[in-house]
Chain A
Amino acid sequence: MSRFEESAPARGGFSFDLCKRNEMLMQKGLKPSSYLKTGTTIVGLVFQDGVILGADTRATEGPIVADKNCEKIHYMAPNIYCCGAGTAADTEAVTDMVSSQLKLHRFHTGRESRVVTALTLLKSHLFSYQGHVSAALVLGGVDVTGPHLHTIYPHGSTDTLPFATMGSGSLAAMAIFESKYREGLTRDEGVKLVAEAICSGIFNDLGSGSNVDVCVITKGKREYLRNYMLPNPRTYVSEKGYSFSKKTEVLLTKITPLRELVEVIEGGDAMEE
């Protein structure tokens, strides 16, 4: 009976072939991937002329800060940017991949990229990897249909929102947005609110920190404000400085020539006889 099922042609739709295999693996002790809250605060909001994206700049490896000033706002198209939280390799790879796909699509269609295109490409990629690609994204941009802001979760679900936050600092940032957001903000008000939300994440969430990056996207123009705010300067630098004396002692110096130098004599009779 099972042999007959295997040879039946595919009938379209979602294929459940691997479900039995997954069950078998789980019985053998494989734990399914769980949603990881990651060390980052990323935000986005829609204002009267477009969208503003914001992010902190701390990259963590567990309790250690691996990069104090990394870039979390990724380029997708001239009119579309994407903030990424989660595994840094995953966010980089997936945004680079979709950015290339969008460029090819622009050549093919001869038109400016649309945000929903980037959204569909990202969500279908993430869904097909069933959450193993740990990328939580805030996608924002302005195209012919207007300004758009979306959140994309690692398992592939998306939301379309007027304001959004992701990452471990998302609650701290959302508290600010929920209190102070209103429709029709001006550019300066919007940038100030985004910076305030990121700062809330930076100071109240241990997984986020260092500086604030902001990206303002409007019709026909984008401003990438790298290190828009630097609220965490180095607290103490010793005036006298520290020296690190060489602790290694030279016991013996020996030079071993690798090969004897051979001199070439021009015009000699060496080859004859």
Chain B
Amino acid sequence: MKVEKKKVTKPIRLYAKAVFTGYKRGQRAQHEKTALLKVDGAKNKDDGRYYIGKRCAYVYKCKKKTPCSYGGKSKLRVIWGKVTRIHGNSGVVRAKFARSLPPRAMGRRVRVMMYPSRI
């Protein structure tokens, strides 16, 4: 979770919002290894090109508390991945995750980080 632990700071967002629209697919067969992400505000190939290589994360909540990286336990879980290439002409982007995204993630938020930065 990217929320600061300090008391008086507003949460900061350092990721682009994206939606998991579905898996890479032909008309009748889908390939779950690769996910398609529609990044907010990206409308064409050039926009999508910015995000290539960026790390992305699918964050979700669970019932049980599990240990998290900075210590302590949390109900949040993450599946990490990265944007591999653009998909089509309208700014949609392909991403591969450490484990394939679960189908219930379709239509849900995926975070596209701003690192590895190339600017």
- A and B together in one complex: no
